[in-house]
Structure formats: C-alpha cells, structure tokens
Structure 1
Amino acid sequence: MTAASLDHPLELQQLLPALIEQGLITAQAAHSIQAASCTQHPLECIAAQGPCLETLTQWLAQHAGQPYLRIDPLKIDVASVVPLMSHAFAQRHGILAVAVDAQSVTIASAQPYISAWEAGLAQVLKRTIKRVVANPRDIQRCLHEFYRLAKSVSGADQKMAIPGNVELLSLGASDKEPDANDAHIVNIVDWLLQYAFAQRASDIHIEPCRDQGRVRFRIDGLLHDVYQFPPQVTTAVVSRLKSLGRMNVAEKRKPQDGRVKTRNPAGAEVELRLSTLPTAFGEKLVMRIFDPQVLLKDFDQLGLSSADQQRWHAMTRQANGIILVTGPTGSGKTSTLYTTLKQLATREVNLCTVEDPIEMVEPAFNQMQVQHNIDLSFASGVRALLRQDPDIIMIGEIRDRETAEMAIQAALTGHLVFSTLHTNDAPSAISRLQELGIAHYLIKATLIGVMAQRLVRVLCTHCKRVTGVENIGCYEAVGCMECRDSGYRGRAGLYEIMPLDPALKALVTPGTDIQALRREALAQGMNSLRMAGIDKVNAGVTTMTEILRVTPGDSETNPLFVGP
C-alpha cells in the first residue's frame, strides 16, 4: 500500500491483485468477486467465493504489517474492555477493545489502514494503542454481544441501586430484593445459556464474591473465567435461574436442586441440572449441561477399545450380580451407565433406577429420584424397587452401609445391579465395600466386576502436530481456530475393567491386599488407566501430558508405564 492509501477503507481492487499473486484466489474467482454486488467487508466478499475468512484475515495482517489476532471471547475480560469506548464509537469505526492494562489498550480492527480514531482514543484513555487485525465477522458479532450484555448488566445494576440515602449506600444496605423477572436479568440469563452452548461448556458456575460475582464455564474439563457481575446482579441472576428451576427463591440458607429444560442454538432440547450452595457472600449456583446426544452414543464414541468392550459386555450379560463403575465426579460414569442401560432396556426387561438426582430422563427406564426430606433414600428406594418385579436395577451411588447391603441383597435374589463408587481405581472398590461393612464372602458371591474411568481431552484433529518422538508423545497440542487455541477439542474415556474371575476372588479376604489384587488383575489382562492412556497417546488421540494430569500413578511400578 502507498502512503496515499492510508486512512482509506480497504477496496477490492486493491486486494485482489495481491491475493492472486499469493495464490489465495484465481483470476477467474477475482472476476466473479468484482462482478458480484457485495456491501460487506471486502474480505467477507472474497470469502463468499471460497477462501477461508480466517486465512484471508491472517494474510491481511501480514500484508499490512500488523499482528493478527483470532478473537476468543473466553480470553477477553469483557467487563474491563467495554467501558473503554461507547458502542456508537466502536460501531462507527468497526473496532473492538480486546485487552487493557495500565499502559496500553489493544484494539482489534479489520481496517488496518484507517487510523483516524487512534490519536483521540489514546488521549481520552491516557494509554498507548496497540493494533491487531481480526476477522471482521468476529468483530461485529462480539461488538453486538459485548455491548448488549454490558447494557443489560448496567441497566439491572442501576435499577437495583438504593435510592436517596447516602448513609445507606455507604453501609451497603438494600431496601428491596433484586427483581429476577426484570427484562435486563432475563436478557443476561438468556445470553449466559446461549453463550455456554456455543462454547461447548459442560458446567456453568455463578460464584458470589466480596466485590463482584464471577461466572465461569467448564469446557473439556477445565474452568474458564467468562464475566464478572455486580453483587446485586449476581443475586438476581441466581434468583432468576432458581425460579426457572422451580426452586424456593426465598430460601437462601439451604442447598437446593432443580432442573431446567431449554433449547440450544441448533434447536435441540437441552436439560440443565441446577444446584445451589450457601457461601459467605451469597448463593453459589452451578448448572450442569447434559448433552442430549449422550443417550445416543455407542461405546466406540465413549472411547472403549474393542478389547474393553468385549470385557464390559461379558460382564453386563450376566443374569445377576453387581457391576460397579468408579471414578471422581465428572469422570463420565453417568454416560457409561446410561449407554449401557439403554442397550439393556429391551421390551422384555423391567429396568428400574434410583438416582440422586435423575441425571437424564429416559422413557426406556423406570426412574425414581431420592428425596431425603421424605426419607426416600437410596436404601429405601432399592427396597421399594425390589417389590416392583425388576430385572435390572441401577443405584445412582453406594454411599453407606445400608445402601451397599440392599445392593447385595438385590444381587443375591437374582437381579443385575449397576452402581457407582468414588474410588481411584478398580481394585480399590473391593476395599471400599469392606470399609462400608460388607463381608468378603458376600463380595465374592455377588460382585461381577468393576470399571474405573477418567475423561481425557482429545487432540484437535485440525492442528495436532507430530513430535517425531517414537512410542511416547506421538503428537502435541498446537492450537487453532477450531479448538480455540487450546489444542484440544472434546473428551474421550479411559477405562480400567476388572472382571472378578476365580483367581481374583481367591484374593478377596477379610484383609484384602489391594496391591496383590491389582497385580493379579494386570496379569489377567486388565489395562490400568495409565496403560489405557498410553494406548490413546500411541493412537494419536491425546498427549502424555494430558494422561499424567488425569490418571493416578502407581508407586510400585514405573510412573509412566503401570504394569505388573
């Protein structure tokens, strides 16, 4: 570009020759672009003929000698950057503040040769301006979403401000409860849910703090900061969600549970499970988002290898006994159980569950929810189910001796029982049952097997890169626009399946040696979680760093290769 072209918007006739020269478009495509009537940004007009808009943006940044930025809303402190300029100013110049510190402000623009706004903005903000080139479509979308949200937050905060008395203000008193049905609050909640769906979040955390309320999303197992609300707005948002979940809005001293059904941007029905917790600064609310596709997944999609599937199916084909799935919260136990039960729930079988709460409603099951306020516990629920002529029973979790004893009784009377335990690995389930007071001979008589599992992040197929190191760490995470620069997209399961064969049952004694049990299970062909992870690494599914993050080690064996 020449000096004469500075402070002029981009034009097609300026860009097309350079793009043809770079081989990004053909002369024929350039002719079609010029012939078409397009009122959008020149890069969007060109992208309509085939080239990727993000690739064109990267080329423009290099061509203009400015840094390129792919806008990731999760990495922008929206509450800090929106007040830097008015919506009208940002819209008029097509710019978006994406970062700010004490010395500088980073501004994204899709017009690198327009700089008329720079000097005035730098003077007003008393900071230097750092320019980056970003996708024009992302800039416009974020401008709309960020300022719309900021307007709703500001409007809600002003409505809740205490009128008049300055002394009351200084004391932090309030003369009214936040209005959960205020239009601003409704807009904030709608944005929160739709944004979570767009970001593939599995959980939404709304956490009251001393000065601000914090919103975080869990994406692929890791939490990300999203936004900060004023305290009163946070309270109103929580109240709105409690109302939607049919919870007692006035009760703030006790934990509560609720459910909400809504739709994602694609129109599919999504169920949210809500849980509140009283904290020092107000109620914390967590929403777990249940993927409507979970019940449609098969074992290949969950991540089970063919050998593990054979072991699992051999266990689940038994007529009676107990099968346990173990792992920490959020390790995918629910998905595994629901996928299994979905396959077992034929028209000839009466399948009943007792859950706390019911994770996902499935018409093929008879589902009952634990309700402690009326003394309907897991144990009493199982006792009731046994009078309902069941074939298969699923107990949400074995937490106490009474529930464990009812599960044992159900298995001894000819039922197939599924349940979960919180243990680090499969062999530890034996010691956990013994700690709950179950005799070793009852465990040997009823336990079919145990599956331990974890969820591991999957490498993004668009950007993963071969490291060149054989056997270990075949690929590494890079980061691209598809995975939002994390290098990972989605999660898969790691499984440790331990069928209780006669050799293992012989080791179940009043003082079971778990390490001896583990060694024998490995000798019988069980893959440990760490070994299952290494198989995933060798298959190019994930990285060794990720495996070490999510799997327990074994002090008796090599820290990388867990084996007998």
Structure 2
Amino acid sequence: MRQLREHLEKNDSVSPEIISEATKLSQKTGRGLGATLLDMGVFSDEQLYSIYATLSGLQVWNGRGEVSDVSNLSQDFLLFNRVLPVHSEDKLTVVIAHPEDDGLVDMLQRLLPQAEIAIAPEREIQFRLENHFHIDGESSTSDSYISDIEHLKDLALEAPIIRYVNDMILSGIKVGASDIHMEPMRNKIELRYRVDGVLHARPAPTVEEYPAIVSRIKILSQLDIAERRLPQDGRFSVKTGGKDVDVRVSTIPTNFGEDVALRLLDQKKQLLSLGALGVSPRMVTQFREVLNKSHGLILVTGPTGSGKTTTLYSGLRDIVDGHKKIITVEDPVEYDIPGISQIPVNAEIGVTFANTLRSILRHDPDVILVGEIRDRETAEIAVQAALTGHLVLSTVHTNSAVGAIGRLLNMGVADYLLASSLIAVTGQRLVRKLCPHCRSPGVVSEVHVKKYGFAPGARIYNAKGCPECGQIGYKGRLPISEFLGINASVRSSILSEPTPENISNAAGSDYITMLQDGFSRVLAGESTIEEILRVVG
C-alpha cells in the first residue's frame, strides 16, 4: 500500500530499514505491506488498523452486531475477500480487512449503497465467518470452499479476481515480458516475468487467491476448470494501447497445484528486416545469398525462445517480390505477412505438418516454410521438396548448427538425400544488450585473455544498472548467430562420418561459431562476456 508506506516514512514511526525490509518481504510473499508489518511484529492489530482508519477515513469496527446473510454477497465472495456483513440496531455494516483494495471498496459501495463500511483485523473477520458458516478451523479455508467447481467458477468471475488477472497481464505487457510464470510452492505462490530472456520475481497472489486466479485464466482460454490432473493448452487475446496481444496459456499439474505459463505475443508486431533485427552484417549477407537460391533446404536451429521463427519470417519478408508463390505451414501462425499464404496446423482435424506439406507440393509453390521439423515424416517430405525444385525453410531444436545434421540423420533421413538437399544451417541465440545509458568501460581480464584469446588490454563495457534499465544493466536483446554453408567438404562428411567435429572442420574458416560472433558483440560494446557465456556456455 503506497499510501501506508508514505505515511510511515513521513511520520518516522518506523525506521527506513524496517520499511525497506518489509517492502521487499511483501513483494516476495505477495502479502500486503500492512500484513507483513504485522507478521514481523512491528505493529499490533490495534496500531495498524488505527493507521488504516486515519488513511482511509473508515472507522474501526467495534465488534458489535450479528453476522448477516446478504443476498447479493455469496459465501464464497465473503470468504475469499474477508468481508463480514453485520447487523446492529437495524443498520448494516460491512467490515473489511483490506481498506487499501479500492476496487473492493467501490464494489461494496455500489452493491450496498445503504451499508456503512468499517475495518477490522483479518483474523477477527475470518474467525467470525468460519463460525457463521460452520467451517472447521483446522482445515484450510480455501480447501473448504474451492472444492466445489461451481463455487470456484463463481470466484473466478468476481471483480477482484478479474482485476488481478487483467493487471498481471497488462503489467507484463508494459515491462516487455515474453512470458509470465505462476508457480505454486508449499506455502506460497511465485509470480515471475521473463524479460529479455531472464526471469524476474514480482509480487505474487496469496495461496488462497491462487485457485480462483487459475480458474479465471482457464475460463478466458476456454480450458476445463474442473481438470487439474492433466496438462492443458489454450489461448485468448487482450487489447491494450492499440495493440492486440495473443496470450498462449499452458497449465501443468504439480504436487502443490497447477503451474501456469502465459506467453505474450504482439499480433501486430512490426516484422523487421534481418539487418534491423541486429543480425551481424556477415550473417545477413550469407543468409540472403542462400535465400535467393531456387531450391534447397535451409534450417534455423536453437532452443525455444531464441528467435528462430522471427529470423525465418524476416528472411521471407526480404524475398517477397510478387514473383514467387510462398506458402507456410505453422503452429501457430505468429506473424501476418502480405503476399504469403499461411496455414495454421490443427492436429485435431488432421492438419499436421506432414499432411499439409504434401498438399502444398500440389499447389505449385516456389518457397515453402515449415514451422518446425519434429518427426521423420515431415523431415523426409521437406527433403524431397527441396530436391524437386523448391526452396524449403524450417526450424529444428538443436543447440548448434552442426548438431542439426545429426538430428535429421537420427530421425531417419537418408544421408545421401540430406547431403544433396541441405544448403545452409544457421544457429541462433538471443543475448541481452548492454544498457546504453549506464554501461561502464573496462578491459578484458587476464583470465578471459588466456582462455578465449582476447587481445591483452582490449576495451570492453560492463553492466552497471540505472533507472532506465531497472537497475539491471541490460536493456533489450540481440541475436548472436553461426552460419554453416554446405560446401563439398561438408557433404562428404555427411556421407562418411557426420560428427559435429568433422563437420566443423570440413566447413573451414567460413564457419563462424556462435561464441565467436558473441565475442565480436562484446568488443563492439553491445554485450558482456558474462552474458555471452551465460547463453552459449
């Protein structure tokens, strides 16, 4: 509660050190600042709620009156929000524990305009509610009322839960998060945003709130809220600031509840050229050269979230000229590109990569993009298409460009077919860029000079941290790449001993590794040695 913190700082009633410690603990546990100060023993209930009364203008409840059933406030709502309706002398008073929740206060005033709102400690409200509803105090309050799926659905439609989910997603979009993770632990929930490839902790909901929040997300993504034993996948869209953001939802069961991951994708994100993406000039030249070939197989490799699809799309964007028939099959379609026919995979009705690829070949294409090669059937069709006059682009999940060759051979693709069809493989990772506002100059350490061959005394920059980058030292990401052109020597290696070492040696000096590209970014002042090693290893 910002108002509470400002009050405490202004009145010097609590030391700055304790306020800082309580604020950090509050952000970590998801409990409010006031509740955290109570837990730490800084305030008694009486002291804290006296401050709340001053700040909110609400009176502290005197404890009088009988708990009353109110027709438009369900039992679930009362228990979840710690709201206690009481009648005394023909007057209705609604007692709340969290006056800092403006949304809750506004809703109660709207639903019960004649009622007076008062405040009281959470434990007192909970005790009164449990007695009134005959809830066993030894069992978890949340367990007692979320076991009924219909009740859980009602909770998910309550205003505070809707507001929380909306705020969580909009906050993620605002800070540029690619993913939001909600992870149940033994006695708490962890909420983390992935920004520039790294997870950062955020203030989390309470254990009691979490089931209703998960249900709200399931309702939005049209998942089964009653199914908690099996993984589920879904999606929904949100609109904010003129942007349409696609939210991909994945839930998996854990021993402490359902773990939820949300991937945030800007549906109208501008697709940049390869150069504008930050790809090194040498890599741009090499990639564009093979994209202008009339036939052959081009692969982009890397782990999930390494920017493979974006690189492929940017490559396609560069060759859309109105004279080529370009068709893609994707799972799902992530960018809309004018001048290209794009097909989304739908396995439920038989629209798989392999089946769709067969149909595409009868559609007179010049260029085909297959979102991912996952199995032998898709791999073999892609290779055959590349051998019969089509340029085929796809992605493979491997850690390096040379590793992609072994992956396809292990899938069952014949070595002579792969050697004849493959024309290039590029590997890619995303590394964090140094914040231009606070990066600090330095020189390469002796350890790195000896281990990685840097020139002694080479000037580099280090991460520092400032308000512009949230004290992290990095802001944004850029790709580091390796490009493996398939020459005669590499083809011979594929047919004889296709080990990564043999293929690398066969590629010769034209093969720039990802580590080498990364270190060139370090010397250019774009990233740090530590960041390159963190990502590439």
Contact 1:456/1:550 (CA < 8 Å) preserved in 2? Answer: yes
**What is aligned with 1:494?**
480
Distance, in Å, in 2 between the alignment partners of 1:344 and 1:259 is 31
C-alpha separation between the residues in 2 aligned to 1:370 and 1:348? 26
* Paired residue type of 1:170: S
- 1:355–1:281 CA distance, 2 compared to 1 (3 A): farther
Whichever residue aligns with residue 488 of structure 1, its letter is: Y
The correspondence of residues 430-445 of structure 1 with structure 2, limited to 5 A, is 430-445=405-420
Larger mean CA deviation between 323-332 and 163-172 belongs to 163-172
2:152/2:215 contact within 8 Å kept: no
Asked if residue 519 in structure 1 is aligned to residue 505 in structure 2, the reply is yes
SS in structure 2 of the partner of residue 508 of structure 1: helix
Superposition deviation, residue 472 in structure 1: 5.1
Q: 2:157 aligns with which of 157, 175, 181?
A: 181
Aligned to 1:84: 34
Residue 139 of structure 2: which of 147, 170, 192 is its match?
170
Letter in 2 for 1:426: A
- Aligned partner letter, 1:399: R
CA distance in 2, matches of 1:217, 1:263: 19
| Inter-partner Cα distance in structure 2 for 1:367 and 1:78 | 44
1:442-521 correspondence runs (5 A)? 442-469=417-444, 474-521=460-507
| 2:481 partner amino acid | Y
1:418 aligned counterpart, secondary structure: strand
Which amino acid in structure 1 is aligned with residue 192 of structure 2?
A: R
Q: Distance in 2 between matches of 1:78 and 1:507?
A: 53
Note closer, same or farther for the CA distance 1:504–1:78 as it changes in structure 2 (3 Å cut). closer
Q: Which residue does the alignment assign to 1:241?
A: 217
What is the identity, as a one-letter code, of the residue corresponding to 2:505?
Answer: R
Q: Which amino acid aligns with 1:208?
A: P
Corresponding residue to 1:190 among 149, 166, 171: 166
CA change 1:231–1:359 in 2 (3 A) is farther
What corresponds to 1:30 in structure 2? none
**Structure 1-normalised TM-score?**
0.69
1:399 aligns with 2:385: no
Amino acid at match of 2:27: D
The one-letter code matched in structure 2 to 1:544 is I
2:187–2:207 CA contact under 8 A, matched in 1: yes
Of the three residues 310, 315, 338, the one matched with 1:340 is: 315
Letter of the aligned partner of 1:326 in structure 2? Answer: T
Give the Cα–Cα distance (whole angstroms) in 2 for the partners of residues 364 and 274 of structure 1. Answer: 30
Structure 2 match to 1:310: 285
> What's the CA shift string for 1:99-132, capped at 9, x where partnerless?
9995879xxxxxxxxxxxxxx77x999xxxxxxx
User: What is the SS of the residue equivalent to 1:207?
Assistant: strand
CA distance in 1, matches of 2:460, 2:25: 29
| Letter in structure 1 aligned against 2:360 | L
Matches of 1:487 and 1:222, distance apart in 2: 13
Distance in 2 separating the partners of 1:74 and 1:540: 33
Q: Which amino acid aligns with 1:230?
A: T
Displacement after TM superposition at 1:362 (Å): 4.2
Deviation at 1:351, TM superposition (A): 2.1
CA contact (8 A) 1:295 1:335 kept: no
Query: Which residue of the other structure, out of 180, 202, 205, is the alignment partner of 1:226?
Result: 202
Structure 1 pair 532/270, CA: closer, same or farther in 2 (3 Å)?
A: same
Percent identity at matched positions? 37
Question: C-alpha distance in 1, partners of 2:226/2:359?
Answer: 33
Instruction: Note if contact 1:82-1:147 (Cα within 8 Å) is conserved in structure 2.
Output: no
Contact (CA 8 Å) 2:182, 2:260: kept in 1 or not?
Answer: yes
User: 1: distance between equivalents of 2:137 and 2:369?
Assistant: 55
Shift of 1:293: 6.5
Unaligned runs of 5+ residues in structure 2 are 1-5, 7-15, 53-98, 109-121, 445-455
- Equivalent of residue 280 in structure 1, options 255, 260, 265: 255
- Deviation (angstroms), 1:494: 0.3
Counterpart CA distance in 2 for 1:540 and 1:100 is: 48
Count of equivalent residues? 439
Match of 1:426 among 389, 393, 401: 401
Amino acid at match of 2:501: Q
Alignment of 1:73-152 (within 5 A): 77=27, 79=29, 82-84=32-34, 102=40, 147-148=100-101
CA distance in 2, matches of 1:101, 1:363: 58
**Given that residues 521 and 527 in structure 2 are in contact (C-alpha distance below 8 angstroms), is that contact kept between their aligned partners in structure 1?**
yes
Residues 195 and 75 (structure 1), Cα distance of their counterparts in 2 relative to 1, 3 Å cut:
farther
Paired position in structure 1 for 2:514: 529
Superposed, 1:10-49 pairs within 5 Å as none
Matches within 5 A, 1:246-395: 246-264=222-240, 266-291=241-266, 294-395=269-370
- What secondary structure is seen at the aligned counterpart in 2 of 1:77? helix
Which range moves more in the overlay, 291-300 or 443-452?
291-300
Contact 1:178–1:233, Cα closer than 8 Å, also in 2:
no
Residues of 2 paired with 1:282 and 1:325: CA distance? 36
| Structure 1 residues 484-507: Cα deviation after superposition (integer angstroms, max 9, x where no partner) | 000000100000011112232222
Native 8 Å contact 1:299 1:309 kept in 2: yes
Deviation at 1:75, TM superposition (A): 9.1
SS in 2 for 1:187: helix
Task: Give the conservation status (yes or no) of the 8 Å contact 1:342–1:364.
Answer: no
> Are the aligned partners of 1:471 and 1:538 in contact in 2 as well (CA < 8 Å)?
no
Change beyond 3 A, Cα 1:364–1:212: farther
Question: Which consecutive unaligned segments of at least 5 residues does structure 1 have?
Answer: 1-40, 42-65, 86-96, 106-119, 126-145, 553-564
Q: Does structure 2 conserve the Cα–Cα contact (< 8 Å) formed by 1:356 and 1:370?
A: yes
* Alpha carbons 1:322, 1:418 under 8 Å: kept: yes
CA offset at residue 284 of structure 1?
A: 2.3
Deviations 1:398-422 (A, max 9, x none): 1111111111122122221111111
Aligned equivalents of 1:324 and 1:407: distance in 2? 11
Compare 189-198 and 296-305 and name the one that shifted more: 296-305
SS of 2:212's equivalent in the other structure is helix
CA gap of 1:232–1:352, structure 2 versus 1, over 3 A, is farther
Cα distance per residue 1:298-355 (max 9 Å; x no partner): 2223221111111000111111111111011111112111212223334333322222
CA contact (8 A) 2:437 2:466 kept: yes
Once residues 100 and 516 of structure 2 are traced to their aligned partners in structure 1, the CA distance between those partners, rounded to angstroms, is: 49
Residue in 1 that maps onto 2:92: none
| Contact map agreement 1:473 1:543 (CA 8 A) in 2 | no
- Return the letter of the residue paired with 1:444: A
Q: Is the 8 A contact 2:179 2:262 kept in 1?
A: yes
Task: State the one-letter code of the partner of 1:538.
Answer: L
The amino acid of 1:528's aligned partner reads T
Q: Deviations over 1:127-150 (max 9, x none)?
A: xxxxxxxxxxxxxxxxxxx94489
**Which residue of the partner structure matches residue 206 of structure 1?**
182
